[in-house]
A and B are shown apart, each in its own frame.
Chain A
């Protein structure tokens, strides 16, 4: 399983763009990069998935450099409700053994 490294926590002000980084130096050729969000007392929720370059959906963007050894989740104009733990996962969706890690606690400040 590819290991991921994320900052433990970060703060951001409401209305700012938040960039959350993840390192995955031993990513394999078939691995995808997936991000989940988890609020207290809830199950994680899928945010976005990508393989290379840039992926954008209605809630976030995912930037993946050419070497794929890291990725950045970008949340535009965060609100207080974006306070959550964000998990970066790396793996082949065919192997059903993705590892969540400890995640990155993001706190949005008024």
Chain B
């Protein structure tokens, strides 16, 4: 069981470039989340999904798009990267049921120059 994996681990972009971050989970979880974490801050929710084919906005969705075409994958896209999007991005998943235990990936460190 690999749990939650994220690709890539590190990336440097120039302003205006686009990229897609991939999150994959092998636990058959319904819910998946994308967060960003800036230095000295907690995590802020960007987008989330409650099942295959569904997505919803979180606290800071502007500048990002997501897709959940397969249950095990949740993609985060930056169409035109900006320096303000320099951050560490975490993906998480959780099963349905009476618990908020989210399982997090190792993170992707993104720098936008």
Binding site for B on A (CB under 8 A): 32, 34, 41-46, 49, 87, 89, 91, 93, 96-103
Select which of B43, B98, B107 is within 8 A of A93 by beta carbon.
B98
> Bound state CA distance, A103 and B59, in angstroms?
17
Whether B99 lies near A100 (C-beta < 8 A) is: no
CB distance from A37 to the nearest CB of B (A): 11
Q: Is B2 an interface residue (CB 8 A)?
A: no
Q: Is B104 an interface residue (CB 8 A)?
A: yes
Q: Chain B contacts of A98 at CB under 8 A?
A: 45, 100
> Bound state CA distance, A20 and B48, in angstroms?
29
24 pairs from A and B in contact (CB 8 Å cutoff): A32-B100, A34-B100, A42-B104, A42-B107, A43-B92, A43-B105, A43-B106, A44-B104, A46-B100, A87-B42, A89-B100, A91-B100, A93-B98, A93-B100, A96-B33, A96-B50, A96-B56, A99-B42, A99-B59, A100-B35, A100-B43, A102-B40, A102-B41, A103-B42
**Chain B: interface residue count, which band?**
20 to 34
Whether A49 lies near B42 (C-beta < 8 A) is: no
Whether A49 lies near B100 (C-beta < 8 A) is: yes
> Bound state CA distance, A45 and B100, in angstroms?
11
